[in-house]
Amino acid sequence: MRRVIIWSVVALVVVVLAVGGYFYYERSIRYPSTDDAYVKANVVHVAAQVSGRAIRVPVDDQQFVHQGQLLFKIDPQPFQVALAQAQAQLALARQTVAADRAAVQAAQANVQSAQATLHNARLHYHRMKSLRAHNSVSQSALDDARASLQTAKAKLGLSQAKLHQAKMQLGKPGNKNARVQQAQAAVRKARLNLGYTTVDAPCAGQLSNVSLQTGDMVPSGQQLFALVCSNKFWVYANFKETDLSRIRPGQKASISVDMYPGRTFHGVVQSINPASGTAFSLLPPENATGNWVKVTQRVPVRILVTDTNPHYPLRVQTSTEVTIDTGPGSTPAGNGYLTLKHRAGHGTSSASGHNGNAS
C-alpha cells in the first residue's frame, strides 16, 4: 500500500512537471522576452547658431523646462549693429537704383533728340540734293548737308549705346533689382542672426550637462548641453533572431523598468531593425574563417511606451525587461503602424514650435 502511494505521488509530480513544462513552453513561444533592452527618447543637442557672449542663462543642470522656455541669451548688441548696417546698405542700394533709373530716362531723352536731329538732317540733305540737281545750290552746300546727315547718324548711334549702357547698369527696376535683392538678403540674414541670440527649448523635457554660465563665450555650432524631450519614450529591445518570426509591428508589449520594481509600463511594437546589432558596428564580425562558431544574433525592436507617467519618469539608457504578446488578437486590426501613431499622439504635447535655435 505504501509503495502504491509513493508511485502515485511520483506520477502526480511527473504529471505536474509535464503540465508545467508544457505551459512554460507555450508561454515562452507566445510571449518572447528579453532583458537586453534600454530606454530611449528624443535628445536635442542644444547649440547656438551664432557666436557671442552669454548675458543670461536662467536654467540649471537637470532642470525641467517647458517648450518655448528661454535656455540662454547671447548679447544682441553686435547683431543689432549689423542689422542697422544692412538696413543702411539697403537704403543706399535703393538710392543707387533710383539714380540709375534717372540716368536711363536721360539717355532715352538723348536718343529721342538725336532721332529728331537725324530726321531734320535727312530732310535737309534731300532738299540740297534736289536743288543741286537744278544747279540752284553749290556742291559745297550739298557736301555740308551730307556731312551733317552723317554726324546726326553718329550721334544717334552714340546716344543709343549710352542708353544700352544705362539700362545694363540699372538692371531690373524696383525690388527686382539684383543689388536691392542682395541688400534685402543681407537684412534678412542680419535679422535672422539677431533672432538666433535667443535660444528657446524646442520641446518640454529635462536638461543634462549644463555648464554654461553668464559671461561665457558661446561658440557657433558647438554642443553646449542636451535636452531630453519628455513627450515620447521608446524602448529598444534586442531580441534573439529566433524570436523575430513571431514579432510584428502593432503587437502589445509589457515593460518592466529596473529602477521601478513592481511597476509595469505598456507599449506597442513600432518597428523591427533591418539588421542585427552588430551589422553597423565599427568592426563587424568576419565569419569567413576556418574556426567559425555560430552565435545567435540579436536584432533591435523599437517599442513605443504608451502610458508614460510623470510620477514614474523614465531615464534614457536605463535597463528594462520587455515581453511581447505574439498570440492571436495581439495585433490591432488594420495598419498597426497607423494605429500606433494615433495612440502615441493621444494625450501628449506636440514638440513642434520655435526650435530654430537648437540643433
CA distance 304 to 339: 12
pLDDT at 321: 95
Under a CB-based contact definition with an 8 Å cutoff, are residues 131 and 137 in contact?
yes
Count of CB atoms within 10 A of residue 103's CB? 17
pLDDT at 16: 72
Could you say which DSSP state residue 212 is in?
A: -
32-75+199-280+293-345 belongs to which CATH class?
mainly beta
pLDDT at 336: 41
CA distance 171 to 169: 6
Sequence spans of domains, the chain: 32-75+199-280+293-345, 77-194
- Strand pairing category for 33-47 and 319-324: antiparallel
Segments in the chain below pLDDT 50: 333-359
E strand intervals along the chain: 33-47, 52-56, 64-65, 70-74, 198-200, 205-208, 217-218, 223-240, 252-257, 264-272, 298-305, 319-324
CA distance 114 to 154: 9
Architecture of the domain spanning 77-194: Orthogonal Bundle (1.10)
Q: How many residues does the chain have?
A: 359
Question: Among candidates 348, 326, 308, 345, which has minimal Cα distance to 250?
Answer: 326
pLDDT at 169: 77
Residue holding cell 518570426?
Answer: 245
Under a CB-based contact definition with an 8 Å cutoff, are residues 255 and 35 in contact?
no
pLDDT at 330: 60
Strand partners, 73: 56, 198
Residue 164 CA: distances (Å) to CA of 177, 305, 307, 315, 334: 16, 70, 73, 70, 69
- The full DSSP string for 223-258 is EEEEEEEEEEEEEEEEEEGGGGGG--TT-EEEEEET
Count of CB atoms within 10 A of residue 179's CB? 18
Under a CB-based contact definition with an 8 Å cutoff, are residues 236 and 101 in contact?
no
The answer for 135, left when phi > 0, alpha when psi is -120 to 50, beta otherwise, is left
3-state secondary structure string across 296-311: CCEEEEEEEECCCECC
pLDDT at 332: 55
Please give the span between the terminal C-alpha atoms of the chain, in angstroms, as a whole number: 82
Question: Among candidates 95, 83, 78, which has minimal Cα distance to 187?
Answer: 83
